[in-house]
């Protein structure tokens, strides 16, 4: 494989060398009258001899354009935009050419002339960034940014997560600045679609990579929403209040105050209809997949963005959320064994969890001068949870009942996390010479206390044996980490750059788990008796040194980067209780990395990445104490765990044809892991002492993590988008393939759980008008699962999901909304092959002259079929489970949309906005 990779690199280098005499042409297109930059303008480069097209592009959001790989000679530059006079400029050059500002003049229009309207181009590709023109996608007047973004080719919602180009969207930027931290849903639902001028989708590099110019492979799928210039100063938002049957209620508000760079957003929410983020859409519950349980949420949040002076930029957000979730679940778990008769575990559970969570994010950037920059990013979270739960479970093998359990629990849990990241970068006078340092330090604390009563019954030939437990468990975990990374880059020749990097860091964890048996016969002050077999106290330290050298070559359309890292890691694990034990481990690895990018055309590029990385076990996986939350399925850690070592290959291909409005995207990734941290299950066929006096009864299990080789994963995703002119809509097609091989161990026998997933889907979104809006979405998947230990567990299952979202302003502000979700599940366990249709429907009336208000009546789950069924595949079992969900109710709601913009509006727009206020 390494030899093949080397051949590919050499091929690209030599192939690229043939274009060494090509140059770039740059410029900015502006409106001659207003001096505003002009995005989405066609720029064509024609041969002077015969006017044949040599190259072409579309200007970006800042009006800029760049034509690459142009040979020296004479050309005609043609600039075209609907409603403007064509600009033709004769150019001749033999070196890099920057044309500066190019001005185009609005064309005077004869009132009697025939106006031909052309369809606006939806997107253009600029390197690894896909830029969408928001005006090319029609939405309802009061739609949110999420409604607009879900219309974009390559964007879909899968399992409640919004995805772009096959990967989960990690963050939302507004005009290049973070908005609501990593809460993608909150960010999208607080921005109206009518404010958006364009949308960028790209893989954002890490802060360190942006500062140094060296790609470290840490990327986040990012959406940058660019707002219209005349919507950057004003107040906007929405409020909703509603009450319905079954005492269902909803109250929410979102207020945004924008003044160019100064921006403040405040949100509040209170409801018992499973809405986790505020949206004015009456069918908001369907913005994500059906949540497990019935949820009451109270939320307040704020996001602040500003520029302090000329050198300091600040962005921060804070959210407090209180949720109460009533969950009821039924699950069937089929274990992987080598026995002829399969073993099943069935469980019915019910729990109530009250969760209070604080989250805060800050980003402070200080540009000291042109060469020096400081960046500080702290994050804070605190969670406090109360639990009242219980479950009943039983294990069977064939027709025989092996064991059963009745369990109830009361618990209080607290988590505290503080993370800080600090950057400093310096650019030297010589271009390409930089110094960057990064400092991370964090602290975390976790404290739990729970009581549990359980009755365990074990069945054998002589009858049933009963065990009664009454226990108190306390867990105190504290930890912290720090890391310092130094990076120096040096230019090599005209197109090369080297990087030298050193990193050192340490992670410390301490864990105290104490389990007490409650002995009712003892005196009240002595009823707690420590169970040393189920208690454990230890601490560990993980010190890591990394040395890295890298080289990058970049010219015109080609970039290649190679790095080699040497890693030395030392694990020191000290157990203090119940018996003193010391474990010291040393890990050394060489980690190569290769990244290539080639721009085939101005609108088509391909990226190839090869990465290697390690994963060390966490504190829970190392702790050897027995966890008996479920006495039929005990769990313990493994202090002897090694690091996992992964090789990863990744391919991205992007292409866009603005003339035909077609775009393609391909994503493929393969991972191979040695020392994969898997699961080992021991199933007792008779009572057995597993140490310290703990008896594993017949049919009970002991699970612990273990290192196994052989983990393999491949997944791919392909999408194609095009317009459907005959129905004024956009079509997006997608297909995917996933192949996974998971090693596992059952009773000392190693086997592999192999699964193949084939998926295909489509999305049709309307582009008709503001009065009619629909979105049809479908995704089908066929799954094959087989196991080498027990071929009888092999089975196939099929899942199909179809959604229709339809909105129609019928007449004089009367609006009808319908949202239909249909799901088919075939091939799951008995009783889980649920096919259901969730229908939400509402009828409303716009109010006031400006139609900013709306009153509506909505019915949720009109057919009463709502359900939540899922399948989970692991190394040692296949599980199907179903949870309770929100059921049918009707609600009367009132919504008001605030829109007050004070800059750049036309007179007609001002009259429409303020009339009726």
Confidence band, pLDDT 50/70/90 cuts, at residue 757: very high
pLDDT digits (tens, 9 = 90+) for 98-114: 888 888 887 654 434 44
The H-or-E segment that residue 622 falls in is helix 619-622
C-alpha of 73 from chain center: 47
pLDDT in tens, 498-539: 999 999 999 998 989 899 988 876 656 668 888 888 888 888
Find, among 899, 701, 784, the residue nearest to 254 by Cα. Answer: 899
pLDDT grade for 160, boundaries at 50, 70 and 90: low
DSSP secondary structure code for residue 297 in this structure: E
User: What pLDDT does residue 907 have?
Assistant: 36
Residue from 206, 205, 211 nearest 487 by CA: 211
Higher pLDDT, 175 or 39: 175
Q: What is the 3-state secondary structure (H, E, C) of 240-251?
A: EEEEEHHHCEEE
Q: Which two tokens stand for residue 92?
A: 């001749």
Between CA 562 and CA 901 the distance in angstroms is 50
Task: Give per-residue pLDDT as tens, 578-604.
Answer: 888 888 888 889 999 999 999 888 778
- H or E element that contains 15: helix 2-17
pLDDT given at position 668: 95
Give the pLDDT of residue 340. 57
- At 828 the pLDDT is 76
Residue of 762, 774, 806 lying closest to 153 (CA atoms) = 762
Query: What burial class does residue 264 get, using C-beta atoms within 10 Å of its C-beta: 0-12 exposed, 13-18 middle, 19+ buried?
Result: middle
Q: What tens digit of pLDDT does each residue of 834-876 get?
A: 788 889 999 999 998 888 899 999 999 999 888 888 888 777 7
Among 110-119, 162-171, 563-572, 597-606, name the most confident range: 563-572
Q: Which residues pair with 584 in a beta bridge?
A: 572
pLDDT band at 51 (very low <50, low <70, confident <90, very high): low
pLDDT of residue 56: 73
pLDDT at 80: 78
Average per-residue pLDDT for the chain: 83
pLDDT (0 to 100) of residue 739 = 95
Q: What is the pLDDT of residues 374-427, one digit of tens each?
A: 999 999 999 999 999 999 999 888 778 888 989 999 999 999 999 999 999 999
Closest CA to 577 of 515, 506, 508: 515
**pLDDT digits 0-9 by tens, 32-45:** 877 777 876 778 88
Q: What is the pLDDT of residues 417-451, one digit of tens each?
A: 999 999 999 999 888 899 999 999 999 999 999 99
Q: What is the three-class DSSP state of 495?
A: coil
């Amino acid at each position: 494989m390494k030899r093949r990779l080397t051949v590919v690199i050499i091929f690209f280098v030599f192939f690229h060398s043939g274009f060494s005499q090509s140059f770039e042409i740059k410029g900015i297109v502006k409106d001659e009258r207003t001096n505003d930059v002009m995005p989405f303008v066609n720029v064509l480069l024609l041969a002077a001899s015969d006017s044949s097209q040599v190259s072409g592009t579309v200007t970006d959001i800042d009006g800029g354009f760049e034509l690459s790989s142009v040979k020296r000679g004479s050309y005609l530059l043609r600039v075209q935009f609907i409603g403007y006079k064509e600009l033709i400029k004769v150019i001749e050059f033999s070196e890099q050419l920057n044309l500066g500002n190019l001005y185009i003049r609005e064309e005077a229009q004869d009132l009697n002339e025939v106006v031909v309207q052309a369809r606006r181009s939806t997107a253009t590709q600029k390197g690894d960034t896909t830029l969408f023109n928001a005006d090319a996608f029609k939405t309802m007047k009061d739609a949110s940014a999420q409604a607009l973004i879900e219309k974009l080719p390559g964007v879909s919602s899968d399992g409640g997560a919004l995805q772009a180009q096959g990967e989960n969207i990690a963050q939302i930027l507004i005009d290049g600045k973070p908005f609501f931290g990593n809460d993608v849903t909150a960010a999208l639902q607080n921005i109206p679609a009518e404010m958006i001028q364009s949308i960028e989708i790209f893989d954002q590099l890490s802060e360190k990579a942006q500062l140094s110019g060296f790609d470290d492979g840490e990327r986040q799928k990012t959406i940058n929403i660019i707002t219209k210039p005349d919507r950057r100063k004003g107040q906007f938002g929405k409020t909703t209040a509603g009450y319905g049957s079954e005492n269902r209620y909803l109250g929410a508000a979102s207020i945004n105050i924008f003044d160019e760079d100064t921006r403040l957003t405040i949100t509040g929410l209170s409801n018992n209809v499973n809405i986790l983020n505020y949206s004015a859409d009456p069918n908001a519950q369907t913005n994500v997949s059906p949540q497990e349980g019935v949820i009451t949420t109270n939320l307040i949040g704020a996001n602040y963005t500003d520029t302090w002076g000329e050198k300091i930029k600040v962005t921060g957000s804070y959210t407090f959320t209180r949720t109460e979730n009533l969950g009821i679940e039924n699950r069937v778990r089929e274990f992987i064994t080598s026995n002829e008769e399969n073993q099943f575990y069935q469980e019915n559970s019910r729990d109530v969890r009250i969760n209070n969570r604080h989250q805060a994010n800050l980003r402070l950037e200080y540009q000291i001068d042109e060469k020096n920059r400081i960046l500080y990013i702290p994050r804070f979270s605190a969670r406090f949870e109360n639990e009242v739960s219980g479950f009943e479970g039983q294990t069977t093998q064939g027709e025989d009942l092996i064991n059963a359990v009745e369990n109830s629990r009361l618990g209080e849990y607290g988590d505290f996390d503080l993370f800080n990241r600090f950057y400093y970068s310096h650019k030297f006078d010589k271009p390409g010479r930089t110094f960057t340092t990064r400092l991370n330090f964090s602290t975390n604390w976790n404290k739990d206390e729970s009581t549990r009563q359980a009755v365990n019954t074990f069945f054998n030939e002589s009858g049933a044996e009963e065990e009664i437990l009454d226990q108190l468990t306390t867990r105190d975990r504290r930890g912290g980490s720090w890391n310092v990374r130094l990076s120096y880059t040096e230019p090599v020749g005209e197109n090369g750059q080297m990087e030298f990097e050193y990193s050192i860091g340490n992670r410390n964890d301490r864990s105290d788990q104490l389990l007490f048996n409650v002995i009712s016969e003892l005196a009240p002050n002595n009823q707690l008796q420590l169970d040393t077999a189920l208690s454990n106290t230890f601490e560990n330290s993980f010190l890591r040194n990394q040395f890295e050298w890298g080289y990058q070559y970049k010219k015109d359309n080609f970039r290649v980067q190679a790095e080699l890292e040497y890693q030395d890691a030392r694990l020191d694990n000290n157990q203090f209780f119940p018996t003193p034990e010391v474990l010291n481990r040393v890990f050394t690895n060489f980690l190569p990395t290769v990244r290539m990018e080639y721009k085939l055309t101005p609108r088509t590029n391909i990226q190839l990445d090869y990465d290697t990385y390690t994963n060390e076990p966490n504190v829970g996986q190392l702790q050897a104490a027995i966890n008996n939350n479920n006495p039929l399925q005990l769990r313990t850690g493994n202090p002897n765990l090694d690091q996992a070592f992964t090789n990863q290959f990744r391919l991205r291909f992007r292409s866009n044809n603005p003339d035909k409005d077609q775009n393609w995207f391909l994503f493929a990734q393969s991972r191979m892991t040695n020392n994969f941290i898997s699961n080992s299950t021991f199933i007792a066929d008779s009572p057995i002492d597993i140490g310290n006096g703990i008896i594993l009864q017949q049919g009970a299990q002991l699970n612990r993590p273990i290192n196994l080789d052989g983990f393999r994963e491949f997944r791919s995703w392909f999408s194609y988008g095009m317009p459907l002119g005959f129905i004024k809509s956009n079509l997006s097609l997608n297909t995917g393939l996933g192949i996974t091989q998971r090693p596992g161990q059952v009773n000392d026998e190693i086997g592999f759980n192999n699964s193949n997933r084939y998926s295909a889907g489509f999305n049709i979104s309307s582009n008709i008008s503001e009065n009619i809006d629909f979105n049809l979405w479908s995704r089908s998947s066929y799954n094959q699962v087989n196991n080498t230990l027990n071929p009888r567990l092999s089975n196939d299952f099929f899942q199909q999901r179809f959604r229709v979202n339809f909105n129609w302003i019928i007449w004089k502000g009367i609006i009808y909304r319908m949202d239909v979700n249909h799901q088919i599940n075939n091939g799951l366990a008995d009783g889980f092959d649920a096919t259901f249709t969730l229908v939400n429907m509402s009828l409303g009336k716009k109010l006031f002259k400006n139609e900013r208000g709306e009153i509506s009546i909505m019915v949720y789950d009109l057919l009463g079929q709502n359900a939540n069924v899922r399948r989970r595949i692991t190394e040692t079992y296949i599980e199907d489970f179903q949870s309770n969900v929100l059921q049918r109710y009707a609600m009367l709601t009132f919504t008001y949309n605030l829109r007050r913009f004070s800059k750049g509006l036309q007179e007609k727009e001002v009259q429409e906005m303020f009339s009726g206020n």
